[in-house]
């Protein structure tokens, strides 16, 4: 049972790390001399080693992606906190429903944010050539199924002595 709890906690922490990295790091969209994330756009100024960064535009869809990613982090942190609380207060045989629901909500939020970004980014960067998705964009898509799987595990899990 202790090994199972350790695996569940490691999975949850891995989801949290993926969510934090995909939300913060500036690699959602990369191109020749250009990197973009949810918060800023960075371009090279003549030399490849110096980047000039400025805040991202105020598109409503980009703000919704930002909100979804922040909500995913909040739900996942809340879920981990609830798991530890329920671990000590839940009666024997009880299930971790509340923890699982918040973790599934985190997964659905990250999926919604990444899906909105996927659909809407071409109209935002039509003037840029040779752009592709960066590694943090893919990390957000990896965090989605892991968060949902973690949430389902919490819902199925029963507390034992």
Cβ neighbours for 19, distance < 8 A, ≥ 6 positions apart = 69, 72, 73, 76, 106, 110, 140, 143, 147
Q: How confident is the model at residue 2 (pLDDT cuts 50, 70, 90)?
A: confident
pTM of the model as a whole: 0.85
Alpha helices in the chain (DSSP H): 2-24, 60-89, 97-124, 135-156
Residues 6+ apart with CB under 8 A from 43: 33, 34, 51, 52
Cα distance between residue 98 and residue 78, in whole Å: 10
- Coil, strand or helix: which one is 30? strand
Q: How far is CA 21 from the centre of its chain?
A: 8
pLDDT band at 96; cut points 50, 70, 90: confident
What is the spatial order of strands in the sheet that 47-55 belongs to?
Answer: 47-55, 40-45, 34-36, 29-31, 132-133
Q: Name the residue among 111, 137, 121, 110 with its Cα closest to residue 16.
A: 110
pLDDT tens across 101-129, in order? 999 999 999 999 999 988 877 655 555 56
Range of weakest confidence among 8-17, 24-33, 80-89, 93-102: 24-33
Taken in order of first residue, the domains within the chain and their CATH numbers are: 26-156 (1.20.140.150)
């Amino acid at each position: 049972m202790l090994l199972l709890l350790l695996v569940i906690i490691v999975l949850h922490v891995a989801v949290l790390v993926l969510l934090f990295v995909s939300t913060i790091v500036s690699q959602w969209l990369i191109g020749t001399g250009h990197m973009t994330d949810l918060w800023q756009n960075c371009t090279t100024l003549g030399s490849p080693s110096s980047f000039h960064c400025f805040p991202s535009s105020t598109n409503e869809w980009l703000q919704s992606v930002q909100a979804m990613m922040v909500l995913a982090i909040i739900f996942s942190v809340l879920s981990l906190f609830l798991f530890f609380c329920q671990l000590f207060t839940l009666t024997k045989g009880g299930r971790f429903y509340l923890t699982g629901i918040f973790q599934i909500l985190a997964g659905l939020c990250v999926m919604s944010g990444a899906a909105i970004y996927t659909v809407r980014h071409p109209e935002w960067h039509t003037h840029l050539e040779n752009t592709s998705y960066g590694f943090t964009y893919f990390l957000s898509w990896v965090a989605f199924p892991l968060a949902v799987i973690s949430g389902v595990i919490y819902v199925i899990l029963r507390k034992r002595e």
